[in-house]
Structures are given as C-alpha cells and as structure tokens.
Amino acid sequence: MPLDISTASQIAAKVAQGEISARNVVQESLTRARNNAHLNAFLHLDETGALAAADALDSLPPAEKLTKPLLGVPIAIKDNICVRGMPCTAGSKILAGYHPPYDATCVAKLRDAGAIIIGKTNLDEFGMGSSGEHSAYGPTLNPLDNSRVPGGSSSGSAATMAAGIVPLALGSDTGGSVRQPAAFCGIYGLKATYGRISRYGLISYASSLDHIALFARDVADLSLLLSVCSGHDRHDMTSLSDPLPPIPTQSNPKQIKIGVWQECLGEGIAPDIAATLERAQKALGDAGYILVPVSLPLTRQALAAYYVVATAEASSNLARYDGVLYGARHAGDNSMLEMYRRTRGEFFGTEVKRRILLGTFVLSVGYHDKYYASAMRLANGLGFQLDEAFSKVDLILGLTSPTVAFKLGEIVNPLQMYLSDVFTCPPNLAGIPALTVPVKLENGLSAGLQLMAKQGDETKLLAMASTLSAIMC
C-alpha cells in the first residue's frame, strides 16, 4: 500500500516515532517521480544519494531524530539553486554539466533539518518565463491537465507538488515565479520579505528582485519550511538579521482589516477568476472581518517598471556567461569577440536573449535615466503607496493571476505572456511578503488568491491564509 506523503509534518513525526522509515518514504517519492516522468518536472533525480541520506537518518539515535523538524521529508529543489553533488543548469544549455561545489544556504539548512533532496526540477531558462515552456530541456506539463502549462518559472517544483511526488519544494520568485505556478497547480506558494531567506547559492537573474521561495500543500507545512529556511546569513549581505516572529493566533475578526485590491477588479480578468475574489470577500465578510477597498494606482505601471528593472539586472548578471570563465564555450573560433558571439548565440535561448537585449538597451548611454532610473523611481513610489495602505489595513487581498493555466503553446506573443505577472510583480518591486492561497474550480483547474503584508509580517500572512483556506472550503 502506498505511503501517505502528503504533509511534511506528518512524515517527520512518523519517522521520528519509528512508524515508518525515511528509506520507505524516499522510495515512495522516487516511485511517484518515475511514474510521472511524462510531466518533465525533474531535470535530475538523485536516487542513489537520496536513499543514502535516508539510511543515514534512519541510523540516528532516537534523541537526535527528535531535533530534526523535517526528518525524512523528501523535497525537490529548483535547478537554479545550488546543491552540492548535483547538476545546476538553470534550465540552460550554457550551464550544462555544471556541478556546484557547495550547497546554497537554504539547502544546507534543509539538510540539517533532516530533509532529503531527491532531485532538481525544471524551469524556464534562468527563471525567465511565466509558463514553464522556456526551458532548454523541454516544457513541464501541468498535472491537473497535461495539455496546460504549470506556470513559471518554477514549473518543475510546482508540478512535483501537484503530482504528489513530494510534500515540499523550493523555487525562486523574481516577479511571481512561485506564486503564479502555485495558483495554476493548486498548491500554496510563499515569497517572503526580501532578505528573509538567504539568496546565497541562487543563480542570479535580477538581484534586487530575486527570492528563494517556498511551495507546500498546506499552511502548516509552509510555516514549517519558512522557519527552517529563514535567518541571517553572513554570505548574503542583504539577508535580514531580525528573527522570524511567532505565528499569531487569530484574534477577533472585527479587529482585523483586510484591504481588497481594487485593481484586481477591473477589465481583463477571466470570469471564473474574478468569481473567486468575490467568493473570498463574501466569506471573509460573513466571518466578521472588516473589508476595506484599497487602490494602488501605481500597480498599473508596475509591470512595465518590473520588466525594465529585471531585464537591466539580467543583462548585467548574465554577462559573466561569455565562454571564458563561466558556462559552455563555442569551440573553434579564431577571435575572442567571435567566440563570445557564438557562445552566447548558441547556448542562450530565445527568451533569455530577448531580455538581455532589452536590459542592455535600457542601460545604454542616453536611455538609463529615461528607462531604468524612471522604473526605480516608480518602484519606490509603489513602496510608499503600499506603506500608506498598510497603515490603514493589516493585509491586502487580491488575485495571483488574471487567468487559469493556459494551453501549451497558446501564448506566443511575449508581451501577452508578460501580462501573466501583472499582479505578482508589485510585491517583488516593494520587497514585501506575498502568498498564494489555491482555490479549486469546478472544471478541475485551480485559481489563486494572493495575500500581501507589510515587510516582516510573514506570520500574519500565514495565519490569514490558514483562515481563508478554512472558510473558502
């Protein structure tokens, strides 16, 4: 009989009590991964290493097992996060064959907590995509409907969760790359405050926007994963030194004000998606919560600002992949410039080239102030608008995506694809925490409600996510 590996907390408790072995849990997880190979969710499955790690945990003294909150829990890691002994391609041919000699800080923390890394997951190349279709190693399929995308860029991690392969997964979120696939795949996705989780060991896309972010199937597991991964790191000067506060118990709903993001109620929202926000408002109102309309006018320009900032930083960060010091090299060239051109032309994908070119343009002489500096000013203005909103409300409720998961190959216009990030990029520009609460639809697909909180208020966010999930059932 297959093991129940739906929640991390249950697994850790049962392994610690000797009811099941870590080896059996990992074997079940690996079997599910093999049975779902058609999803193309994994780029590397480390069966030998995962089983060896499980055996090592099973041999620990009982007292030591109790100190590991993720004892025996299998976890999948997005393939732009460094894991010692495993490949790290960032979904790109230019990093094919690269094996990092170290663990990312969050990976080291997961190992210390007893988690077992079973493999590396597929992604849009260098995290640049909203569908999971822009990997050099082929698209990932959505387990809810194999004809549809799982969202991106953390497509593989989301798919492994939705397929029941692992109870936890890591992704990265630069403009919604965890929250949007969480919505499309029917799971929870959390992007914490910028700096809450160290970025050391994350392959950079846009450094001021990048976050290592979290997937789980329930709020309790999401909270547990956040507690393990968060904390100051001397390797990352942007990491926060403030400890994660405890999750509050919900007080009288009449004392909690929830802002309803008015820009999520406009045109361009699919009817079934708009209906989920209406249902949430009614459920919260019926439960006694105070609902307050909140308008964030600058969010109308946030998407444009995001793509200016993100591509500019990508142009800088990806300049290192030139065939000299990092990544693959095109052989047989007679000149250095020709080697650069052929290496980057052959090994970067179309979407990555597009964003590098856009970023190089907005940083060029005569255009820096017009585009990049203007985008940064808008981001700062958006931060002030959010600060003002949070002086009046405790949380803000909106949508994660304006649509359900679209069909594979349905969106070919890059600008139309970029619109998928319209509601998810503002929290990245402002550095605030945001969380997707999944909502099942009658057609078997999933939508996502997005909760946002002020910087440092992840635990308030998690508490409300738990309440919202309960009253929406």
Q: Residue 338: how many CB atoms within 10 A of its CB?
A: 12
The per-residue DSSP string of 115-152 comes to: -EEEEEE--SGGG--SSS---TT-PPPBTTBTTB---S
Q: Which of 153, 223, 239, 401 is catalytic?
A: 153
User: Is 78 among the residues known to form the active site?
Assistant: yes
Cβ-contact 21, 3 below 8 angstroms:
no
User: Is 446 among the residues known to form the active site?
Assistant: no
Q: Enumerate residues 6+ apart whose C-beta is below 8 A from 407.
A: 147, 148, 149
CA distance 226 to 212: 11
279-286 contact pairs (CB < 8 A, 24+): 279/439, 279/472, 280/397, 280/439, 280/449, 280/468, 280/472, 281/397, 283/468, 283/471, 283/472, 284/258, 284/397, 284/468, 284/471, 286/471
Q: Which of 14, 78, 109, 191 is catalytic?
A: 78
Task: Indicate the pairing of strand 116-121 with strand 74-78.
Answer: parallel
User: Is 131 among the residues known to form the active site?
Assistant: no
Q: Which of 155, 177, 204, 466 is catalytic?
A: 177
Residue 88 tokens read as 């790290």
Element (H, E) at 75: strand 74-78
CA distance 37 to 47: 14
Strand partners, 292: 259
Catalytic residues, which ones?
Answer: 78, 153, 177
